Amino acid sequence: MKALVCVKRVIDYNVKIRVKADKTGVETENVKMSMNPFDEIAVEEAVKMKEKGILNEIVVLSIGSESSQETIRSGLAMGGDRGILVKTTSDLEPLNVAKVISKIVEKEKPEIIIMGKQAIDDDSNQTGQMLAQICNLSQATFASKVEKNGEKFDVTREIDGGLETISVELPCIITTDLRLNEPRYASLPNIMKAKQKKIEQIDVGSFGLNLESRLEIIEVNDPPERKPGIMVQDVEELIGKLKSEAKVLS
Amino acid sequence: MKILVIAEHDNKKIKPSTLSTISAGLKIDDNIEMLIFSTGSQEIVSDSEKISGLKKVTLIKHEIFESQIAEDITKALTGFLESGEYTHILAPSTTFGKNLLPRIAAHLDVQQISDIMTVLDHETFERPIYAGNAVCKLKSKDKIKVITVRGTCFEPCKKESKNTVEVIDSSLTFDGKVNFVKHELSESDRPELTAAKIVISGGRGMQNGDNFKLLEGIADKLGAAIGASRAAVDAGFVPNDWQVGQTGKIVAPDLYIAVGISGAIQHIAGIKDSKFIVAINKDEEAPIFKFSDYGLVGDLFEVLPALEQKL
Ligand SMILES: Cc1cc2nc3c(=O)[nH]c(=O)nc-3n(C[C@H](O)[C@H](O)[C@H](O)COP(=O)(O)OP(=O)(O)OC[C@H]3O[C@@H](n4cnc5c(N)ncnc54)[C@H](O)[C@@H]3O)c2cc1C
Ligand SMILES: Nc1ncnc2c1ncn2[C@@H]1O[C@H](COP(=O)(O)O)[C@@H](O)[C@H]1O
């Protein structure tokens, strides 16, 4: 069985974001970039499945600039078998990303597609669901547990009220939540080995898709700042302030 | 303009996040309708009758909607939309809305706008990016706008109406590629995290699940909901649906009390719209103090019992 894992290159989650002075976006020059944390979880899950014998091939896909090769390499170092880079110079919106992935799905025909539930730059949380609709594949989002059950998968999903388990037929799309697993660190030998693995490059133009943006970004701003607070000495003072100043306790 | 709000419910009551979604819709236009996919219990019908601000309420009834599987709702909804001429389709940005709405957007070939915080006009909105560390103002060029709404940014609409609910028995058949197996839902008498006026959360500093009892006494006295940081959830202290933050729940109570939480940006992302934030932490350098209105440096095992006693 083959898995396609989608990985996005994003600003590292530890970096403090700075909005550009001209309000067109956030600073990305000289900023540490990494694989989207949810996508690391996706790669890890695929590698675990391969170790259990459920999968025999893991294809790591990224859509982005030349630099996204690094992100694919990290996925290969974790245990992916080969990579595909769809090259584009523009930032694609989730609908367009889903359309591009659908072309790769047509070509590769994976039984399982694993991707993050959300990219931590745009925080859209859309691509997997859109892809499921476009390709008519079963959808299991926000997965915190995935178990093979005969010809199907039982997926436990993190929902607002607790957990939900659904059973999905293949082919399916699984989007990962944080508690699905803990991604491994790639070992040095595996990082070296990954350098030999193949990354196919495809130009996004070759699909003949209309990938025009639908959303016009007017401006990007800093969030409203909170007023600086004060320190209180003890519980009495705290309760006093909450009653008399904040008036949130009666 | 014509707006459709997809309701989230538990087949008994319409969820508060849906009421906030209606309020967001009313900022776009008052020609607004609500659509419910449900087994059609008397309870859900009577609850829907009361919701203010709506021009029309439709309930599509089918046994399959006992569990709200995205594929099933998508099939029924895309059929319903054919006759509708809706200009805007809205759902709450909860796990329900996030799971469903991108499918509808893809079906209509439009780019969804996730998690809006502000409605500027019928095509211009603000939404958080980078865990709320930046706010993006954008304009949609699509002819139908598909939108999920951040509930904490809009007051819930009132329940003072007397709507008639049009119930349509659905005769659709579903392909059953995805099936519901089970729920493990947290039972609690406390208010819902996202709707509570006061929230008290514990982090890794709580050390174990048992120690969350220290928060319970205080929550009881304040009528508060209890939340947690990701570290506390990952360590197994408390259930996952207690997680507050970028990837957990977004809360905006009048008062948020963070206990033994360091204040990572992903946690702050979920709390910074709270009116007042109180931080209790033994480390005076903890980043949480930069975001709090009132900070108290101290050992939570001493502070919490004192707080409970003095409230
Ligand atoms: C993609 C991604 C998404 C994430 N999403 C979320 C999210 O939604 N929500 C979230 O919370 N986190 C999230 N995180 C994790 C986040 O980065 C932090 O790791 C997490 O919030 C830390 O939790 P904490 O503050 O409880 O633990 P710690 O950072 O370990 O802090 C514990 C605090 O407790 C204090 N303390 C210890 N003992 C005591 C005592 N006796 N009395 C008083 N204080 C004490 C310490 O001084 C310390 O400040 C996410 C991370 C990533 C990468
Ligand atoms: N440019 C991209 N390349 C590869 N995968 C992507 C890309 N953009 C989004 N994805 C995948 O879609 C998931 C959800 O992204 P989003 O819908 O943007 O929040 C991510 O976690 C990735 O797995």
Asked if residue B188 is part of any domain, the answer here is no
B140 and B75 inside one domain: yes
Contact state of A121 with B130 under an 8 Å Cβ cutoff: yes
Positions of chain A with pLDDT under 70? none
Task: Check B130 against A246: CB less than 8 A apart.
Answer: no
| pLDDT of B188 over the 90 cut | no
CB contact under 8 A, A124 and B112: yes
Same domain? B156 vs B208: no
Question: What are the beta bridge partners of residue B227?
Answer: B201
**Cα–Cα–Cα angle for B135, B127, B20, nearest 5°?**
135
Residue B82: give the domain boundaries: 3-169
Q: State the nearest Cα–Cα gap between B51 and chain A, in angstroms.
A: 22
Burial class of residue B186 in the structure, from the number of CB atoms within 10 Å of its CB (0-12 exposed, 13-18 middle, 19+ buried):
middle
Q: In this complex, is the C-beta atom of B183 within 8 Å of any C-beta atom belonging to chain A? A: yes
Q: Are residues B23 and B162 in the same domain?
A: yes
Q: Is A91 a pocket residue for ligand 2 (Cβ < 6 Å)?
A: no
- pLDDT at A240 (0 to 100): 96
Cβ pairs A/B, distance under 8 A: 252
Atom of ligand 1 nearest to the CA of B265: 17
Q: Which uninterrupted H or E stretch holds A2?
A: strand A2-6
Half-sphere exposure of A233 (CA within 13 A, CB side): 2
Least CB–CB distance from B95: residue in A132, A159, A167: A159
Together in a domain, B21 and B149? yes
**Statement to judge: residues B154 and B278 lie in one domain:** no
B186 is a domain residue: no
Based on the domain organization, do B240 and B289 belong to the same domain? yes
A132 in contact with ligand 2, CB cutoff 6 A: no
- CATH architecture of residue range(s) A2-223: 3-Layer(aba) Sandwich (3.40)
Query: Each residue of A66-125: pLDDT tens digit?
Result: 999 999 999 999 999 999 999 999 999 999 999 999 999 999 999 999 999 999 999 999
Residue nearest (by alpha carbon) to ligand 2 atom 1: A63
| CA A91 to mean position of chain CA atoms | 15
Q: What is the mean pLDDT of residues B32-40?
A: 97
User: Is residue B15 domain-shared with residue B80, that is, in the same domain?
Assistant: yes
Which of B95, B107, B307 is the closest to A235 by Cβ? B307
**Domain tally for chain B?**
2
Strand pairing category for B134-140 and A215-221: antiparallel
Whether a cis peptide bond, with omega within 30° of 0, leads into A183 is: no
Q: Is the pLDDT of residue B186 over 90?
A: no
Does the distance separating the beta carbons of A125 and B114 come in below 8 Å?
yes
Burial class (CB in 10 A: 0-12, 13-18, 19+), A123: buried
Residue ranges per domain, chain A? 2-223
In B, minimum Cα distance to A182 occurs at B234
Query: Where residue B140 sits, what CATH number does that domain have?
Result: 3.40.50.620
Same-domain status, B256 and B294:
yes
Q: What's the CATH code of the domain at B281?
A: 3.40.50.1220
0.90 cut: is pTM over it? yes
Domain boundary among B169, B185, B210: B169
